[in-house]
Amino acid sequence: MNDPDDKAAQKTDYPEEESATADRQKLSAGRTLLNKLKFLQRFGPISFLVEWIRRMSENRVSLVGAQLAYYLMLSFFPFTIFLLSIFSYSRFGSEEILANQLALLPEASSNFLTPILLNIVRTRSTALLSTSLFLALWSSSTGIKNLINEMSRIFNQGQNKRPFWRTRLVAAAATVLIVVLMILILASQVFGNVIYNYLSRYFSWSEISHSIWDALVTYIPLVILSLGLAMLYRYGPYFEPGCRLSFGKAWVSGGVAAVSWVLISYLFRIYVNNFANYANVYGSLVGIILLLFWLYLSAVVIMAGSVFASVWQERSRRKMIQ
């Protein structure tokens, strides 16, 4: 004869077994999902994206971008004045050159900067050219020196082990490279139509040829910018012997940063010109405030490109070890 207490125990134990079975099923389903995510994280682009974002957070990219934006601001005016002073001796007007140089800025910043810069450049002073070059090189090299130190920390998870004088020398060389590349970018934009008209005297252009030429003039600056960033990522940071970033990885990382910079600048310009109303908040200072924010975004993109290259290099090393 069964004990009533045993029956009660059986009735109370059954729900516990059912609950335990349900928990085991949930745990099994969770493990299956986790295994799938691990598969994606190991072989797919999701892992790369997650690690990229995590590394940007660990390396304080936003904070370093703010520091770099300060030096970019210091070098922006002398650098722009220097470039305008060079091209002002050509037959092209400074307005056309400046319009190409400030094309990615919000309209409020362009309207604020254009009369100031044109008023300075129209003097065509040799002293102005020399002074602006000196200030541009000094402020830019100081900013690039800090950028090199931060990129060295990102790639090596430590400090820049170069001597101070060598870091300064690399920063000065990088600054000169940037000046040359900026001149090439402006020349491709300003003199593109001149070259086209000159070649038209000797060749007949079809519509397809004209479209190809327009595409070249449009994308050549992007290629030059990618090359400049690739050189910066490859030769700027300090690398341990035998660990230097390959040119292929540097080129792709520079291309990612260049495309991202153009895209973000374009979207920021559209947003400010059509949706945001910063003039009500900042008044007459809206132009300089937007310029500061644009320089900050540019600095963050440059740093994000170096983190991209660092993550790619580390993942390649891990695959070689495995």
pLDDT by residue for the chain (322 residues), tens only, comes to 455 555 444 444 545 555 556 656 555 655 555 455 454 455 567 778 888 888 888 888 888 888 888 887 877 777 777 776 666 665 555 556 666 666 667 777 777 777 766 676 666 566 666 777 777 777 777 778 888 888 888 887 666 777 888 888 888 888 778 777 777 776 666 666 667 666 777 777 666 666 777 777 778 888 888 998 999 899 888 887 778 888 889 999 999 999 998 888 888 888 877 766 766 666 667 778 888 888 898 889 999 999 999 988 888 887 777 6
Q: CB-based contacts of 75: which residues, under 8 Å, 6+ apart?
A: 135, 136, 139, 140, 143
pTM score over 0.75 = no
CB 257 within 8 A of CB 302: yes
CA distance 101 to 189: 9
Residue 106, CB-side half-sphere exposure with 13 Å CA sphere: 28
What are all long-range contacts of 133-138, with beta carbons under 8 Å and residues at least 24 apart? 133/78, 133/82, 134/78, 135/75, 135/78, 136/75, 136/78, 136/79, 136/81, 136/82, 136/175, 136/179, 137/172, 137/175, 137/176, 137/179
